[in-house]
Amino acid sequence: MVKKIVAGNWKMNGSPQDIQSFAHYSQILTKPDQLDAIICPPFPLLGEAKQSFHEQLLIGAQDCHGELAGAHTGDVSAQLLQQMCCSYVIVGHSERRQDHAETDVMVGRKILAAQELGITPIFCIGEQMDQRRAGRWGDVLAQQLSILRDEKIDAGMLVVAYEPIWAIGSGARAENNDIVEAHGFIRAQLASLANNASKIAILYGGSVKPDNVVELSQLADVDGALVGGASLKVEDFSQLVEAFGATL
């Protein structure tokens, strides 16, 4: 059985007060063993999350550097994330690729650095709207996934998040048939990279909300969600966790 995962990406949002709200939720959270609920706050809030969250609510980070230490001002190493008790780290998010000119090679090195420290990477891939309209979405996803082969990355030790770039923060979720097609394509690509491809969690990200999560959770090969705005409120996030928990 594929583990279900609901990961909240707070991006450049959140406060110590928000951490405390989720700390209370972490104490009352009940979920199946085969579901991970994760909050990925900004770096300065990781220490407070470490001190406050109950073990039922896992801690993730929004990025890491490809090196374990060195002269990289403003970056954070996987080694430090491990010390902050991070179980997961988001890598290759489209906002990082766009805002910081991250290449596939850079993303691959981040995956390797996280895996070396026992942190599970949430590897983000996705296409632009013009690529979707031109029918090139499969080529784009295959190219992004090819870094796993090129860098000899253990694909069985990561999570893949499909985030069509045009759906992130837009309020416009991809159509169900497009999501199923893309997730099936990703699963087939992973099959050529790992023996346990059927057990690799593939998450969907892009305007996931309480009012569409039940439908989303029932789609083939959708093993969870990488969520932005809907992860900032305990009430919303809890509904997402419950929806995917109900599928187990």
Per-residue pLDDT of the chain (248 residues; tens, 9 = 90+): 899 999 999 999 999 999 999 999 999 999 999 999 999 999 999 999 999 999 999 999 999 999 999 999 999 999 999 999 999 999 999 999 999 999 999 999 999 999 999 999 999 999 998 999 999 999 999 999 999 999 999 999 999 999 998 877 766 678 999 999 999 999 999 999 888 899 999 999 988 999 999 999 999 999 999 999 999 999 999 999 999 999 99
Q: Which candidate, 210, 203, 204, 207, places its Cα nearest to that of 169?
A: 207
Q: What is the pLDDT of residue 207?
A: 87
The distance of Cα 45 from the centroid of its chain, to the nearest Å, equals: 18
In angstroms, the CA 210 to CA 241 distance is: 10
Task: Check residue 212 and report its DSSP letter.
Answer: T
Q: What is the pLDDT of residue 171?
A: 66
Q: SS3 breakdown of the chain: % helix, strand, coil, rounded to 5?
A: 45, 15, 40
In angstroms, the CA 91 to CA 127 distance is: 16
Q: Which candidate, 49, 61, 56, places its Cα nearest to that of 9?
A: 61
Helices 137-150, 104-116: axis angle to 10 degrees equals 50
Place of tokens 């932005």: 228
Domains of the chain: 4-245 (3.20.20.70)
**Residues belonging to the active site:** 93, 163
Beta bridge mates, 246: none
